[in-house]
Structure formats: structure tokens, C-alpha cells
Amino acid sequence: MRPQRLLLLIIFLTVLSFFIDLPKNYPLKLTLGQFKIDQVISAPDFNFALGSFKISKEIYTHLGLDLQGGTHLILEADMKEIKDQDRNQALDSARSVIERRVNFYGLTEPVVQSAKVGESFRIIVELPGIKEKDRAIAEIGQTAKLEFREWISTQSADFSLNNTKETGITGKDLKRAAIEFDPNDGNPYVAIEFTDEGGKKFSDLTTRLVNQRMPIFLDEKIISDPTVQEPITGGKGRITGQFTTDEAKKLARQLNAGALPVPIKVLEERSVGATLGQESVQKSLRAGALGLGMVMVFMWLYYGSLGFLADVALMIYGLLSLAIFKIIPITLTLPGIAGFILSIGMAVDANILIFERMKEELRSGKQWQIAMELGFGRAWDSIRDANFTTLLTCFILFNPMGWGFLPSFGMVRGFALNLAVGVLLSLFTGIIVTRTLIRVFFKGSWKGFMSSQVQK
């Protein structure tokens, strides 16, 4: 692509990134003599529609628990009563139940994930911006309660627990639930198996409720309301419906949460105040601005106008990085910001290597245009290898495969993801943006500068 066209593309991406990077509902007040600005600025949201295909996305900066305040919990599941082969399934079901309880609080981007550390089965919960912390912890840590109940009135619009009565069948009567597929049509369904005693109770209940609905409640919330089509006397049955595979898996997990109830206890609790989080944001932004400024001053002082070009590319790098963080989105945490600040210094590594190679070419007597092109071309191998090894480290820290022998903590992964995005973007700005700026704006005008660099 011709340099002028590439420059237009870079300008377009830079302007687009600038608008995406605007803060949300930020009051901008500015007075310069007679000129006054009193507006609320905000990043635009993304709305796209083509016929029935629609995409709507709100663009804003996603802050982690350590930056916006909240509570971090490490829960430990007691697996003493659970058979070895069922423990992973029980942990998955417990995580599903806790995630459903957390969602009732309407928090923005809560995190619920399971982890196995040695013989310890844990669930990590992050509750950003939670206000009723003690109540939330008490409710989240409750053991799941599963009940098969009977409607009192099927004509009522009340589908709550108040319109039902007990049948005596609870989670302890259910042996397990699993997703299976109908061999005739391939549709998923949930197979349920009861204990011997539970099978007898279920046989009596389904015999009495043929052609009637039988609601299933988990933690006093209805999760399924199947119609009994025929008496189920063998202790095994199936719940069918127009399930997708994910819906059937979700129902099986919820049933197993009651069938394999796992007592939960709080192993660690850590709270971050909103004020402390705000201070962390301000200090992080200050550190990022200071780091960016120091790098830019060094480049300008040491490489002169050539360093100024690298500084322009570095500013474009900052705008693009923040825009990508908001679009993907990537949740910013303190370690993630540290990874971003680290990548600022690395962003000019490529330019320094290129400029030094250009000086070597000039020392050998080549013309500056040839020295510039050779500098970019011959430095590429070193730049590629150095960044590839950094990306490998990011891959290990991010652990996308979930390997148990590698770390999989959220903040470590945030650091790795931010650093990887920074490395990839620095390749774009360090190679393509800087070279385009040099080709367009400095063609034939900095020979003297390069000559002075040769003499250093």
C-alpha cells in the first residue's frame, strides 16, 4: 500500500480511537477568554442493524474489583461426603448455583470461577461494588436446597413457592442428573436417577400427577416445571423439552447442585473500598502518564526529530490500546495496568533497534533512504524474535487451556492479556506507523540529523 494511503488509514484509526477513548458522561468545562465550553462528553455506543441482524454494544472502561472496590471471596467446598468420581461435577454444580445467587444482586461483571488446588476444591467470587456484603456472603455460602413440589392451584398466575406444597422429595432423594441425547432425533434431554427410597417416592408422585405439572425448585426459585406424561416407576426418568444443549447442561447442573449438595465455607475474604480503588486508578493513570512522558522525552532528546516521530507513534499506540481495551472488552486491574505501563517502554524498543541499524547503514556510506529501508528490514528479525518470546510468556501466564500446573488467577491473566495486546500493538505502531510517518514527512529532510548521529 502506498505510504499516503496508509497514512490516511492510520489517521482514521487514530481519530476513531480518540472518540472511543472518551470518558463516559464526563463534564467538560473550559474557559479561554470569551470562549467557553460547558458540555458533557461521552464515548459513543456501538449500534449496528442490517435487516433483522442487530448489534448493540455499550462502550466503556471495565474496571476490576481492585479499582472500583468490592469484595473478593475464596470459598472452599467440603467434599468429604462426595465420591471421588463425582467431585468435579459437584464443584461445577456448586459454582453454577453460586453464580445464580450472585446474579440476583444485579452487580456489574461479577466473577465466579472454580479452581482445584491440590486436594482443595475452591470457588473464587468477586463482587464489585457490593453494598450488602455480609448478607451476600451468608446467602452465597448456603448449601443448595432442591425440592420436587406440587402446585396447589394450576389456574393461578402465582408460580412462586407459595402456590406449591411439599411432596417429600428433595435433593437427597436424587442420585444424579446428566445431559443425554435422544437417539431418534438427536435432541438433548436431562436424564435423572433417584436413590432406592427416592425412586419409590417419585413413582408414587408421578403416578398421582399424570398429565399434571410438577415444579422443581432450587433455593426457593423454580428451575423447571415439567408435565408428568406417565408414571415413572423404575427410579429413572427424563426431562424433555425444546432444550438447547446449553440449556440442558444448565438444568442438569442445577439438579446436581441439589443431588450433590456441597457445604461451602469462606476460606478468605478481602474487601477493597471504593475510595481506595479510586485512589489506585488516579495513581495508576499518573504513573502511566509519567512513564509515557519520560519515554517520549528520552526519545526526542536522543534521536531528535526522528525520536519525535517515534513519540507520535507512541501516542497513537496509547489511543489504540485504550480503544481496544474498551471494545473487546478487557477488564482493567492494577496488574493489568502494570502490564500496559510495561508495554509503553517496550513499544519504543522496536524503534530504537531500527534507528541503531539505520545508523550502522549510514556509517557504511549508504544513502539515507536506503539506510532507512534497510534499517527497518534488517531489524525486523530481532524485533520479531524478542516480541515472540514475550508473547510466549503471556500465553503461559494467561493459560487459555486452563492447565492445572499453570497459574490461572484473574489478575495474572489480566496482566498477561494487557501485555500481549500491548506487544502486538507496539509491533504495528513501531513498524508500520513509524515507517509511514518517516516516508511521508521526512523524505529527504533529515540527512543532516543522521549524519550527526553517526558522529556520536
Q: DSSP of 67-132, one letter per residue?
A: HH-EEEEEEEE--TTS-GGGHHHHHHHHHHHHHHHHHTTT-SS-EEEEEEETTEEEEEEEEET-S-
Measured CA to CA in angstroms, residue 288 lies from 311, 339, 376 at distances of: 15, 11, 28
Distance CA 114, CA 404 (A): 12
Spatial neighbors of 198 by CB under 8 A, at least 6 apart, are: 169, 172, 173, 174, 175, 235
- Count the neighbouring beta carbons within 10 Å of the beta carbon of residue 221: 12
Cα of 59 vs its chain's centroid, Å:
14
Which three-class secondary structure state does DSSP give residue 211?
coil
* Structure confidence by residue, pLDDT tens digits, 351-364: 888 888 888 888 88
Distance CA 16, CA 20 (A): 6
Compute the radius of gyration of the chain from its Cα atoms.
30
Distance separating the N- and C-terminal Cα atoms of the chain: 35
Q: Are 354 and 309 in contact (CB under 8 A)?
A: no
Nearest to 255 by CA among 344, 352, 169: 169
Residue 454 is predicted with a pLDDT of 47
DSSP state of 213: B
- Count the neighbouring beta carbons within 10 Å of the beta carbon of residue 345: 15
Residue 447 is predicted with a pLDDT of 52
Cα of 74 vs its chain's centroid, Å:
19
Alpha carbons within 13 A on the beta-carbon side of 94: 29
In the numeric block, which cell numbers belong to residue 358? 539505520
Burial (CB < 10 A; 0-12, 13-18, 19+), residue 435, is: buried
In the numeric block, which cell numbers belong to residue 344? 509503553
Give this prediction's pTM: 0.65
Residue 316 is predicted with a pLDDT of 92
Nearest to 285 by CA among 23, 14, 10: 23
Spatial neighbors of 311 by CB under 8 A, at least 6 apart, are: 296, 299, 300
User: Residue with C-alpha cell 455506543?
Assistant: 45
Peptide bond into 3 cis (omega under 30): no
Q: Which amino acid does the sequence have at 287?
A: A
Distance CA 175, CA 260 (A): 8
Reported for 443-448, long-range contacts at CB under 8 A and 24+ positions apart, including other chains, are: 443/369, 444/368, 444/369, 446/305, 446/306, 446/368, 447/368
Question: Which pairing describes strands 216-218 and 146-151: parallel, antiparallel, or unpaired?
Answer: antiparallel
Distance CA 142, CA 101 (A): 10
Residue 320 is predicted with a pLDDT of 92
Distance CA 179, CA 200 (A): 23
Cα of 275 vs its chain's centroid, Å:
24
Residue 392 is predicted with a pLDDT of 92
Positions of the chain with pLDDT lower than 50, given as ranges: 454-456
Distance CA 391, CA 407 (A): 16
